Structure formats: C-alpha cells, structure tokens
C-alpha cells in the first residue's frame, strides 16, 4: 500500500507573491507589531498592513496577538473587529466584509494538503466572510468557505462548507442550527 513520503514534497509551484524581501520584512513586522502584542494600537497595525498591501477599511479594530500570514492577500471592510490571538492564514485571498467580528482565537485557513497524494501537495482556496458575519471564539473557517451575510459560526465550531446568510452554524463540522434574527 502506498505511503506518504514527505521527502518528495515540493512547494515550489506555490508563489505567495510579494517577493523574498517583502516576505522577510513582513515576517518580522507581523511578529513584532501584530503577533507579539507589544503595540496595542489598532491604528498603527492598520497602517502597517496597508503599507504591506492589505486593503483595510475605516474603523477596523485589531487586538493583540493577531497573526497574518501574507498581508497583501488580505481585504478587510469598515468597522470590523479582529480579536486576540486570531490567525489569518492568508496564503491566498481572504476577504472580510464590513461589521464583521472575528472573536479571540479564531482561525481562517486558506491552505491544506492533499492527503490522497504521497507527495502531500499544497492546496489553497480563498476564504470570504461577507458583511455582518460573526466568527465565535476558537472557531475555524476552512479553505474555500464563504460565510454569507450575517452568518454566525459559534465558538469552537469548524466550518467546512459555505454558510447561508442570516444563519447560525454550530459543531465539528458545523451544521445550520437556526436562523439569525437581528432586532
């Protein structure tokens, strides 16, 4: 029976963009100013993200401990909150709408591996969170998922499929449990 052989893994077809120098500079800027929590100011973090090519709206709050893989693949709308220790693994595009809340410890993944191939090839797909989405604490959104307008992924849940508008999803994997009614 064939087995995985990681010595055959070849990541060279993947190009994250930005160039080597920009990726290196972003690695340190992300580590010092976003991940470390040394600088609690959202305005400087927003400035830094824009400097590296992210498209960031107005009134965005970024809490300490946030980790963003490649800033130039990130788009964030207006008045969005990104909580403590959120990981945005944007190997490819991550689009976050207006008035989105990503609670502490949540993870947005754009990459995985093809476990069916012995070479364990990298797979990437974008993630989209439309306006008004709430991703609960410790929740995970997997690659290729679109969370439609005002969808909710409850704390600790794992989204593996698209989420309908104004719907609440829960579980591992997340399933729709009710409608979201906003009063």
Which CATH class name applies to 17-176? Answer: mainly beta
Q: What 8-state DSSP symbol labels residue 163?
A: B
Q: What percent of the chain has pLDDT over 90?
A: 93
**How long a stretch of residues is the chain?**
183
Burial of residue 80 (number of CB atoms within 10 Å: 0-12, 13-18, 19+): buried
Q: What is the pLDDT of residues 103-126, one digit of tens each?
A: 999 999 999 999 999 999 999 999
What pLDDT is attached to residue 12?
Answer: 83
Mean pLDDT value across residues 47-66: 97
Mean pLDDT value across residues 72-95: 98
Mean pLDDT value across residues 87-93: 97
Residue 37 has pLDDT above 90, yes or no: no
**Which band of pLDDT confidence, cut at 50, 70 and 90, is reported for residue 40?**
confident
For the chain, the domains span 17-176
What pLDDT is attached to residue 61?
Answer: 97
Catalytic site positions: 113
Q: For the CA atoms of 85, 24, 112, 46, what is the dihedral angle to 10 degrees? A: 40
Q: Identify the residue whose tokens are 């947005």.
A: 108
pTM attached to this predicted model: 0.95
**By C-alpha distance, which of 91, 87, 74 is closest to 137?**
87
Residue 21 has pLDDT above 90, yes or no: yes
What pLDDT is attached to residue 41?
Answer: 87
What pLDDT is attached to residue 125?
Answer: 97
């Amino acid at each position: 029976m064939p087995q995985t052989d990681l010595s055959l893994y070849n990541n060279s077809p993947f190009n994250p963009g930005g160039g080597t120098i920009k990726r290196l500079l972003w690695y340190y800027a992300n580590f010092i100013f976003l991940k470390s929590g040394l600088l609690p100011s959202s305005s400087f973090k927003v400035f830094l993200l824009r400097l590296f090519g992210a498209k960031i709206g107005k009134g965005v709050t970024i809490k300490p401990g946030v980790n963003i893989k490649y800033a130039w693949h990130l788009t964030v709308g207006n008045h969005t909150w990104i909580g403590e220790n959120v990981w945005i693994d944007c190997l490819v595009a991550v689009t976050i709408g207006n008035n989105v809340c990503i609670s502490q410890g949540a993870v947005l993944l754009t990459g995985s591996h093809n476990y069916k191939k012995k070479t364990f090839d990298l797979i990437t797909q974008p993630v989209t969170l439309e306006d008004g989405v709430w991703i609960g604490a410790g929740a995970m959104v997997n690659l290729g998922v679109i969370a439609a307008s005002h969808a909710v992924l409850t704390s600790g849940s794992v989204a593996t499929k698209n989420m309908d508008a104004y719907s609440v999803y829960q579980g591992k994997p997340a399933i729709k449990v009710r409608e979201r009614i906003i009063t």
